[in-house]
Structure 1
Amino acid sequence: MARGNTRQRIQDVALELFAEQGYEKTSLREIAERLDVTKAALYYHFKTKEDILIGLFHDLTRPMDELIEWAKAQPRSLETRQEVLRRYQAALLDAAPLFRFMQENQATVRELSVGLTFKERMIELTGLVKEPDFAMVDQVRCISAIFTLHAGAFFMQNVEGDPEDKQDAVLEVALDLLAQAHDA
């Protein structure tokens, strides 16, 4: 992820530590030590661990917000929904460390403001790929297409094969679920 400015470096190191030892067990002092800065320097940018996580979340999920806004302005067609899945997969992969952290720390994230924000975005995103008048099985297919992308981003790393081939396969399955829902 190696991003440049001090704020981003703080976020990146914090995310590494959160992944290594958990959000609850990571202190601001440890983050400062890993960065080789004083706690005062860290406080200049972030007052709490949650502030760091909120900043990370907003920075790394901005493409998701942009995707939602883009999709709202498009015709509600199969082609638009397919493009939503393609763009969402790219956003997931670009922010993989954050989403992996959120997946592995669901209980903690649920208690933080970013948990509610993410839930609201997911509800909005699923609403963009399905129609309320679809049969229930087809609504499930549409929602499952999104979660197929999640599974692909996190669990396919344990499957042998070329990373690009694996992501192509995941997208193909997600698009197939979407097409099945639209063909019904």
Structure 2
Amino acid sequence: MMEKEVMDKRHLRSIKTRQKLLEAAKEVFLEEGFQKATISQMIKKAEVGYGTAYVHFEGKEDILIVLMEDVMGKFYEIAEISFYPKSKEEAENIIHKQAYSFLKMAETERRMLQIFEQAIGISSAVSEKWKSIREKFIQRISKDISYAQENGLARKELNHELVARGWFFTNEMYLWDIVRNERQESVEEIAKTITAVYTRGLYL
């Protein structure tokens, strides 16, 4: 029993240390940018030992990938919105809501997404991670399109994965535009426009 208590305490301490490192790393990335940030700065800010830090993470790329998973998890929750429309109008409403929420989240998470964009351009590990995140979204969209096709709402002759890829890339392009502050139009206007173009091409 005593041994289990010791193990539990160790496990709890390990989780807390990992969390402290992630929080410190986020601050350092936001202050320094991806390129200049160092794991030494993160360790110092988190007030943990060097050895302890390397038990949890191999380096700053490894830490950023975990932070990326956390942030993109919020975006993925939007993609996971229940999608069982009974009509084209209902489908359009759900898709518009998803596109709007996705792009609004880009505004909310702008600063961290700026760090991710820097890292994607520099680190092959982060770039590969972004590709796998992208594929997860595409597979989810593809599933929704298949549902619409099977239920006679969308054009059956269209390849659902290709359509899903096109839709995600449209959203991703505007996401980066928002992150870089390159758009004058409102999120609402962008979401409305891209939803109209997408649904009118796909739905019957």
Please say which of residues 46-55 and 125-134 is displaced more in the overlay. 125-134
- Matches of residues 28-107 of structure 1 in structure 2 within 5 Å? 28-33=39-44, 35=45, 37=47, 39-40=49-50, 43=53, 46-47=56-57, 48-71=59-82, 73-75=83-85, 77-107=91-121
Equivalents in 2 of 1:181, 1:18: separation in Å? 44
Distance 1:134 1:56, change over 3 A: farther
**Alignment identity in percent?**
9
**Based on CA coordinates, which of the two structures has the bigger radius of gyration?**
2
Shift in Å, 1:148: 4.6
Q: Residue type of the partner of 1:28?
A: I
Between the two proteins, the alignment pairs up a number of residues equal to 169
Q: Distance in 1 between matches of 2:61 and 2:191?
A: 33
Per-residue Cα deviation, 1:118-173 (whole angstroms, up to 9, x for no partner)? 1222323542675674658x948634541353244224x145x6xxx633332233
Q: How does 1:14-25 map to 2 (within 5 A)?
A: 14-16=28-30, 19=33, 22=35, 25=36
Pair 1:6–1:88, CA change in 2 (3 A): same
Q: Which runs of 5+ in 2 are unaligned?
A: 1-18, 147-154
Q: How many Å separate the matches in 2 of 1:15 and 1:121?
A: 25
2:137 matches 1:122: yes
1:110 to 1:177, Cα distance in 2 relative to 1, 3 A: farther
Q: What amino acid is the match of 2:39? A: L
Distance 1:41 1:120 in 2: 35
1:14-46 deviation line (CA, Å, top 9, x unaligned): 422562x51xx532113334x273554971894
Structure 1 residues 6 and 111: CA distance shift in structure 2, 3 A: closer
Deviations 1:78-108 (A, max 9, x none): 2222222122123322322232223233244
Question: What amino acid does structure 2 have at the position aligned with 1:166?
Answer: S
The farther-off stretch of 78-87 and 172-181 is: 172-181
Unaligned runs of 5+ in 1: none
Bigger Cα displacement from structure 2, 101-110 vs 82-91: 101-110
